[in-house]
Structure formats: C-alpha cells, structure tokens
Amino acid sequence: MSSPEKKSIVIIGAGPGGLASAILLAHRGFRVRVVERLPVVGGRTSSLQAGPYTFDLGPTFFLYPQVLQKILAEVGRDLHREVDLRRLDPQYRILFGEGGQVDATPDPERMKREIARLAPEDADGFERFMSENRRKLATFAPVLESPFSGWSDLLNPRLFDALPQLNPHQSVDTYLRKFFKDPRIRLSFCFQSKYLGMSPFRCPSLFSILSFLEYEHGVFHPIGGCAAISQALARIAREMGVEIHLGEPVESLRFQGRKATGVVTPKGTYGCDGLVINADFARAMTSLVPDALRRKWSDRKIAAKKFSCSTFMIYLGIEGKYDLPHHSIFISENYEENLAEIDHRHVLSKRPSFYVQNASVTDPTLAPPGGSTLYILAPVTHDTGSIDWRTEAGPFRDMLIKRLALAGFSGVEERIRYERVITPADWDSQYNIHRGATFNLAHSLDQMLHLRPRNRFEDLEGVYLVGGGTHPGSGLPVIFESARITADLMTSDYGAPLPSTASLQTAAA
C-alpha cells in the first residue's frame, strides 16, 4: 500500500456530513477536496442571509453535541470554543389543537408538574421513561456506531443483546403507552419522530431515544443559528488544509469499471483515489451514477423506496419581538388525519401542525435592534406530483400565517418586513433533494441499519456515503456519527494510520 499522504479524496457536498468527514480524513493524512454546488457551506444546515435578518435554512434543534465534540477532540479542537452553544430551558412549548400545552423542561421536578397539569396520573411515568431509555440508549449506541455493511452484522453480539428492546413492529406511540395514558403526553414524547420525517404512529419504537436525548442531554441553540456549526466546521477544515470549492456543481463522475476515479464540474476534473458522496443520496445516484453501474440501488429500486415527508417553510423578518418561547410546536386539532394527509394521501391539510422558531429571544445576532425573525415549518407530503405548488403555495402560506395565532403569535401579517417561502418543489429544484424529501429515505425498519445505503457504498468501488442518506440516518448527531463511521472505514480501507486520538470503533468492528 502506498503512503496515505498520496491518497486523494473528493467529497461531493459541503453539508455537515461532508465537512465533518473532511476534517477527520484530513487529520488522518489524506488530501481532501470538497466540491459544493452552492455558493455557501452547510447544505440544509446553512443560513439564509436577507439584509439584516439571518435564518437557519433547515435545522434549528441541535441535540447531543457529544458526537461532534468527540470528532473535534480528535483533531485537537473544542466544540464549545468553536461554537457558542446555549442550552434552552424550556426546551420548547408544545401546544395541542385539542387543548392544553406543555413547556418541556430538562428539570425533572418541573417537568413532572408540567405533565401533572394536563394528566396527573401520568406524572410518575416521566422518571420510568427516563430510566428505561437511559438503558436503551446505552444498549443501542454501539449499534448505531457500527458500520452495518452486511447481513453478517446482524449476528453482531451487540445487536443480539439489543434485540429484546428493539420491539421491531412496535411504534414509538404504542411503546409510550406503558408510561403515559394521555395521548397528548405521549405526543410530547414522540412528535420528535418528525425530526426523521416520520409519523410517531409508524416510527419504530427505538426512536423513543430522541425525546430522551433532549431531556437528558439538552436542546441547544448555537448563537448565529445551526449554520454556525457548518461555518465552524468549514473554518477548521480550511485551517487543516482542506480545499473547499464553492459554487461548483459536480455534473458527472469518471469511472474505470465500477471504480470512481474523479468528478467533473464546469471548472474542470478532480481526480481521486476515493470519493465521498454527501449530496442527497437518491438525487446523486439518479443524476450522477449511470443506472447500469448500480445493482442494488438502480433507478427502479430507488423509485420503490419509501421517502420521508417534506417541509413547507416561511422565513419572516419581523418588526418587534414576541415574548414567546424559542421553539413552539403546534400539534393539529386532528393530528392523525394530518399525518395521513402527509404520508398516505399526499394532499394538503386544512388544519396542519406547524412549528415556529422565535430565536431572537435567545440570540440577538439574527435581527436588527427592535426586530426579530420567525421561522415557520409545516410538515407536508414529499413531492409526488399531487400538489401544484405554483398555485397552492400562496393560499397555504396565508392559512399558516393565520394559524400562528393558535401558538400565541398574533398580528404577524402586519409586522412582516421580509419574507421568503420554500416549498417541496423548491427543495427539489433549488436544493437538489429528491422529491423534496427533506429527511431523505424514511427511517422504517426495512430501510435502516444494513438495509440503508451503506457507508461503504456497495454498488461501486472506492465510493463512500456520508450524511442523512446513509447509516445511521438523518439528524445532526447521527449525521456526524456517519462521518466518523465513513472516515474510519476509509482509514482502514486505504491503510492510513489511525491517529492515537481516533476512536477506532469502526475499524475494530
């Protein structure tokens, strides 16, 4: 094996997964170039800059910073020095269309009182939920940290130990019945499945660890928004010698047989020994890799996969401020119907659930003095062709703005000084996201672990995946985990020495 210094890696996409893997690979002696189609870093975790207003394009909840902290520690950096992280309390307010609200707090005694206000007999379930999920996370963390490159991984003793807790066919809502009787309290602990673009009534029960993570380890707001994390990663990567080429879409790939040998952009060709794809998996495959080269992930097979929901977005620059929580989640009066409209009927809801980020209450850097920003997200169907967004976007936006009053944001229309809307069709066309499915392939059990596109991509040689489209899945903590898994696989495949500070988890797996 030749010296690892000579191995050249190209990463398609400067999303959080691409940037974190760039940092790890550079630290392990590879020459790394990141090629990004947009003029900014961060992908879905970038910011929208509109005059004096700054918005996060996508993520607004930063959970479980420990994964990124560990990655940065390997390269001698401290996450908390690079990004100003603020833990939120309350973490968020959940408002129920059928009445009542919960201010979710990491303080166990206050949280029990919050639950008791709505459902006195459910208050004791909180501690039982926390201790059972503490055990569940401890069991599953090694599973999520493994690369899952084949059926044989299912024989992994760690997964065998975890199986009894997996309850594969139980939804997270059903699982929560053993702790909470009131459906509103259950929703407070399972709406997080929407972070994966899934319904809590279908999302596997394993994902109860999402709400557990919030209470146990915190919900954070990075000052400047979640995009500040991407910007910090890009800064560190550049300081480590990574070249980041912005505004250069990869238009095609070069192959020798099944081995990827380079990428082609309008500015030229970048040859490589190894290729990492951070771009949206389904879009990258169907547009960059000839169908004939793919066996398991052919166009036909990708078309048959289940995709996550999409999101309808409104970003508002506001005159004045709302003295309301940083995060508010309004759950539809008829949540199950709302979910069916998103997941099965692929139509727009008349009474949609929505989420509002009112970040200026925590972060003065996002708006001019005396102003604030509102970020409104409504989960909607991914693009199936059933909705013509050119005609539907306007009325849907008007209805959502009116519904904001249900979460206490009244009189918004008169106070708007800047506005931008992003529809599922825009996610698809402007952000290159297949069907506008903002959270990638759905996280159903038949599309997880080794059944998700693998970090060492099985259909090609010298091609690796990183980000929400591969194992373990969508959401920043697991995207950073995918960066570590992929970097470990490449380090081992190319014979590069693992630095003494590296985790060695995957290489040893």
Burial class (CB in 10 A: 0-12, 13-18, 19+), 411: exposed
Q: Does 311 bind ligand FAD (CB under 6 A)?
A: yes
| Encoded tokens for 50 | 């509109």
Cα torsion angle, 208, 213, 219, 222, sign: negative
Q: How far is the CB of 500 from ligand FAD (least distance, A)?
A: 27
Q: Does 188 bind ligand FAD (CB under 6 A)?
A: no
Least separation in angstroms between CB 215 and ligand FAD: 16
Residues 242-301 that bind ligand FAD (CB under 6 A): 249-250, 278-280
The dihedral sign for the CA sequence 33, 38, 42, 44: negative
Burial 471-499 (b: 16+ CB within 10 A, else e): bbbbbbbbbbbbbbbbbbbbbbebebebe
x-marked contacts with ligand FAD along 365-384 as a string, rule CB under 6 A: ------------x-------
467 lies in the site for ligand FAD, by CB under 6 A: yes
Site string for ligand FAD, 90-129 (x = CB under 6 A): ----------------------------------------
327 near ligand FAD (CB under 6 A): no
Closest C-alpha among 313, 407, 404 to residue 94? 407
Q: Which of 7, 28, 33, 44 binds ligand FAD (CB under 6 A)?
A: 44
C-beta closer to ligand FAD: residue 4 or 16: 16
Cα–Cα distances (Å) from 246 to 73, 234, 243, in that order, read 27, 11, 10
Contact at 8 Å (CB) between 53 and 373? yes
Beta carbon nearer to ligand FAD, 252 or 334 = 252
Angle of helix 424-431 relative to helix 389-403, nearest 10 degrees? 120
Q: Which of 412, 479, 496, 509 binds ligand FAD (CB under 6 A)?
A: 479
Residue 257: how many other CB atoms lie within 10 Å: 9
Alpha-carbon gap, residue 487 to 274, rounded angstroms = 11
Four-point Cα dihedral 231, 83, 362, 220, nearest 10: 100
Determine contact, residues 170/178, Cβ cutoff 8 Å: no
Are the C-beta atoms of residues 360 and 366 closer than 8 Å to each other? Answer: yes
Nearer to ligand FAD, 37 or 305 (CB): 37
Near ligand FAD by CB under 6 A: residue from 7, 9, 10, 16: 16
Should residue 225 be labelled a site residue for ligand FAD when binding is judged by CB under 6 A?
Answer: no
Q: How many whole angstroms separate alpha carbon 324 and alpha carbon 36? A: 37
* Residue 231 in the binding site for ligand FAD (CB under 6 A): no
Site for ligand FAD (CB under 6 A): how many residues?
Answer: 35
Residue 36 touching ligand FAD (CB under 6 A)? yes
Q: Does 468 bind ligand FAD (CB under 6 A)?
A: yes
Q: Does 328 bind ligand FAD (CB under 6 A)?
A: no
Q: Which of 4, 17, 218, 224 binds ligand FAD (CB under 6 A)?
A: 17
Q: Which of 474, 486, 491, 503 binds ligand FAD (CB under 6 A)?
A: 474
Report the interface residues with ligand FAD, using CB under 6 A: 12-18, 35-38, 43-45, 58-61, 195, 249-250, 278-280, 311, 377, 432, 438-439, 467-468, 474-476, 479
